[in-house]
């Protein structure tokens, strides 16, 4: 129920649009009934009661009450048409036909106007929900992406949001159109024959019970189908991203078989959900037809026996059947809307799982807007655990302003975690990290990250031009500033040789460039940002010797007079660091300059000997 209320709130965020849809749907319902009711005078013209000539009745008088308005309009229309019949039956017949035509025309005009506004409403709601999901995805900590599949998140943003689009229409129709149509039609039926109307309601509780059972079952199946779709998206994303390795290991068959199994499970669940959803309307229609046939038998018997009809004649009975047949449509609509809402409820719950996820990296309301790096960065007794597994244990060290500190150690020793804690991709479990004497948790996150430039092992570029990627952190940069940054990063020469220079499209993830070229563009991006603090996370480890030399020269220029934290596997790149910290299993085991650590003959000296460094 909570999810349905949220869908209702999404819909009525745009009150004007929702109100227009409701008003024109209401007019559609009214004129739909009128178009049916207008057939009664037509039938009375063709089938006069007991074969008698139609006499002109007395002109009705309106008593001024709201309740008497419907009676007055009905009686006046009957008076008007019968007066015309008495004078000229053909003219009366032409008038009735024209009246029905106008009613049908207005009915469809109002329906189209309702759909016109409804189309905009459903898409602005989808746009907002998708935007909220994407914004949330951008705000979530990195730990979320370690636990969740990207494909599952894409499924929620795309497919689950699509279910909300359908639900927006279902909410409007379930609350503001179909029930009104049912009420108006029932009111007309009661006006003609209360006895026959009450008889028609015998099977309605049974219909409601059947729809309820189908709805609950549909919600369970829809939830399972959403989960399986997330798995399917993840397999697609993994396969397309790793296509080079898949081909290299001749693993196409394995990947295809794995995808086929997931695809089959999703197809089976989706088919099951469709079958349950589509069962409701025909089943409901069948039950309603059973009721209508019962009415035909019961009402026809009343008229044929001439028992307790209270003036209810043949033409009115046919009109009763026509209006009752129109009652089937909103009842079927209610069944369909309930089925759609049950399916959307499962989608909304999955969306809420993301929207309600704790961002973990919280910002204090009184956080500092600006901060200057005057002394340096200090890690004070820092501990960090991930999923209750300790990663860092009481790590303490400082990075004086303008100095370079290098981190060395085996994979999993905690090097990258130390660097990720500084820009607050994660928060420390214990201890604190300060800039000068200010805890970084007391600084605005945007301000903190504006101070930091990161060049990682994997060059993350975006599908755009070279210039756009260099200016990624500074969209207002001039072309002159972009070129100057590229020159410092040793990238200007190869960029000029590209097809369109700085305006060359580099493709998804920059795949039109080589590894060394991508890394130099990444360095140019960091140069243009001009950060006070620099984090280099194995920035040259994936490059060939020639590219490494060019990139290292660019890095040396970038690091000049900057406070730098460097993670390195190739020890040749950090021999000039002001201090080298050796980590093992989340703890500092050695520290000192390159010469000091070689003299100790410990872990660093051993690693240096393996790489032929002295």
- Is residue 368's pLDDT more than 80? yes
pLDDT tens, residue by residue, 510-559: 778 888 888 888 888 888 888 888 888 876 665 666 666 777 777 777 78
Q: Is residue 202 very low, low, confident or very high in pLDDT (cuts 50, 70, 90)? A: low
Q: 49-63, 228-242, 478-492 — which is least confidently predicted? A: 49-63
Nearest to 574 by CA among 601, 593, 591: 593
Contact 397, 460 (CB under 8 A): no
Cβ contacts of residue 485 below 8 Å, gap of 6+? Answer: 470, 477, 524, 525, 527, 528
Q: How high is the mean pLDDT of the chain? A: 79
- Mean pLDDT of all residues in 419-423: 90
The CATH code of domain 371-450+578-614 reads 3.40.50.300
Residue 203 has pLDDT above 60, yes or no: no
- Predicted confidence band at 406 (pLDDT cuts at 50, 70, 90)? very high
Please report how many Cα atoms fall inside a 13 Å half-sphere around the Cα of residue 129, on the Cβ side. Answer: 32
DSSP strand E in 265-414: where?
376-386, 389-400, 404-409
- pLDDT of 153: 77
pLDDT in the model for residue 458:
76
Q: Which of 83, 92, 25 is nearest to 56 (CA)?
A: 83
Q: Is the pLDDT of residue 101 over 70?
A: yes
The residue ranking higher by pLDDT, 90 or 440, is 440
* pLDDT computed for residue 72 by the predictor: 67
Mean pLDDT of 455-461: 79
Residue with more model confidence, 78 or 489 = 489
pLDDT band at 581 (very low <50, low <70, confident <90, very high): very high
Predicted local confidence at residue 452, as pLDDT: 87
Rounded to 5 degrees, what are φ and ψ at 584? -150, 125
**pLDDT at position 381, please?**
94
pLDDT, one tens digit per residue, over 50-73 is 545 555 666 767 666 665 666 666
Does the pTM surpass 0.75? The reply is: no
Task: Give the confidence band of 128 by pLDDT, cuts at 50, 70, 90.
Answer: confident
CATH superfamily of 2-355: ABC transporter type 1, transmembrane domain (1.20.1560.10)
- The 8-class DSSP code of residue 498 comes to S
pLDDT for position 286:
73
- For residue 425, what pLDDT is reported? 86
Residue 397 has pLDDT above 90, yes or no: yes
- Does residue 82 contact residue 58 with C-beta atoms inside 8 Å? no
Q: What burial letters (b/e) apply to 162-194, b meaning 16+ CB within 10 Å?
A: ebbbbbbbbbbbbebbbebbbebbbebbeebbe
Q: Is the pLDDT at 33 greater than 60, yes or no?
A: yes
Q: Quote the CA–CA distance of 594 and 579 in Å, as a whole number.
A: 8
d(CA 299, CA 406): 93
Confidence at residue 612, expressed as pLDDT on a 0 to 100 scale: 78
Interhelix angle 161-176/314-355, rounded to 10 degrees, is 140
pLDDT tier, 43 (very low <50, low <70, confident <90, very high otherwise) = low
Strand partners, 399: 377
Answer with the residue of higher pLDDT: 302 or 409: 409
Whether the predicted pLDDT of 346 surpasses 60: yes
pLDDT digits (tens, 9 = 90+) for 131-159: 888 888 877 777 777 655 676 777 787 77
What integer pLDDT is reported at residue 239 of this predicted model?
78
3-class DSSP state of 410: coil
CA distance 383 to 393: 5
pLDDT of residue 259: 84
Lowest-confidence pick of 171-175, 485-489, 526-530: 171-175
Between CA 444 and CA 464 the distance in angstroms is 30
Domain ranges of the chain: 2-355, 371-450+578-614
Tell me what pLDDT residue 42 has.
62
């Amino acid at each position: 129920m909570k999810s349905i209320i949220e869908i209702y709130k999404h819909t009525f965020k745009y009150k004007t649009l929702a109100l227009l849809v409701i008003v024109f749907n209401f007019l559609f319902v009214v004129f739909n009934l009128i178009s049916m009711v207008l057939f009664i005078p037509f039938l009375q013209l063709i089938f006069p009661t007991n074969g008698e000539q139609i006499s002109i009745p007395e002109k009705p008088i309106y008593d001024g009450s709201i309740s008497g308005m419907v009676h007055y309009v009905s009686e006046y229309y009957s008076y008007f048409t019968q007066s015309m019949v008495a004078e000229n039956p053909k003219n009366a017949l032409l008038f009735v036909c024209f009246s029905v035509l106008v009613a049908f025309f207005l009915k469809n005009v109002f329906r189209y106007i309702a759909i016109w506004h409804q189309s905009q409403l459903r898409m602005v709601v989808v746009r907002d929900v998708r935007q909220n999901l994407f914004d949330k995805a951008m705000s979530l900590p990195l730990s979320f992406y370690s636990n969740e599949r990207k494909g599952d998140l894409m499924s929620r943003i795309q497919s689950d949001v699509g279910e909300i689009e359908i639900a927006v229409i279902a909410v409007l129709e379930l609350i503001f159109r179909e029930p009104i149509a049912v009420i108006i039609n029932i009111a007309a039926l009661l006006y003609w024959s209360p006895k026959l109307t009450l008889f028609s309601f015998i099977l309605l509780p049974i219909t409601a019970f059947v729809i309820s059972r189908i709805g609950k079952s549909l919600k369970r199946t829809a939830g399972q189908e959403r989960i399986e779709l997330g798995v399917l998206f993840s397999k697609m994303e993994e396969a397309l991203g790793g296509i080079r390795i898949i081909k290299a290991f001749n693993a196409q068959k394995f990947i295809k078989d794995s995808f086929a199994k997931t695809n089959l499970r999703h197809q089976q669940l989706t088919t099951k959900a469709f079958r349950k959803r589509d069962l409701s309307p025909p089943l409901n229609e069948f039950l309603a037809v059973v009721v209508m046939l019962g009415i035909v038998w019961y009402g026809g018997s009343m008229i044929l026996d001439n028992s307790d009809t209270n003036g209810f004649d043949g033409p009115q009975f046919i009109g009763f059947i026509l209006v009752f047949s129109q009652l089937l449509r909103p009842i079927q609509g209610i069944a369909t809307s309930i089925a759609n809402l049950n399916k959307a409820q499962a989608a909304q719950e999955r969306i809420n799982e993301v929207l309600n996820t704790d961002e973990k990296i919280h910002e204090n309301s009184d956080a500092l807007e600006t901060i200057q790096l005057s002394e340096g960065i200090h890690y004070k007794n820092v501990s960090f655990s991930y999923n209750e597994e300790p990663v860092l244990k009481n790590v303490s060290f400082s990075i004086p302003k303008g100095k370079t500190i290098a981190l060395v150690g085996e994979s999993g020793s905690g090097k990258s975690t130390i660097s990720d804690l500084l820009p607050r991709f994660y928060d420390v479990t214990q201890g604190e990290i300060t800039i000068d004497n200010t805890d970084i948790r007391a600084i605005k996150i945007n301000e903190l990250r504006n101070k930091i430039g990161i060049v990682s092992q994997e060059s993350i570029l975006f599908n755009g031009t070279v210039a756009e990627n260099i200016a990624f952190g500074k969209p207002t940069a001039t072309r002159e500033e972009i070129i100057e940054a590229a020159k410092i990063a040793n990238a200007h020469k190869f960029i000029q040789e590209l097809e369109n220079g700085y305006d060359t499209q580099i493709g998804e993830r920059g795949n039109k460039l080589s590894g060394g070229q991508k890394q130099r563009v990444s360095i140019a991006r960091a140069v243009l940002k001009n950060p006070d603090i620099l984090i280099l996370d194995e920035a040259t480890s994936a490059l060939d010797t020639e590219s490494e030399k060019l990139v290292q020269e660019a890095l040396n220029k970038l690091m000049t007079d900057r406070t730098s934290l460097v993670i390195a596997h190739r020890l040749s790149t950090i021999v000039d660091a002001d201090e080298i910290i050796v980590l093992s299993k989340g703890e500092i085991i050695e520290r000192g300059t390159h010469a000091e650590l070689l003299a100790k003959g410990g872990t660093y000296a051993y690693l240096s000997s393996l790489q032929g460094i002295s």
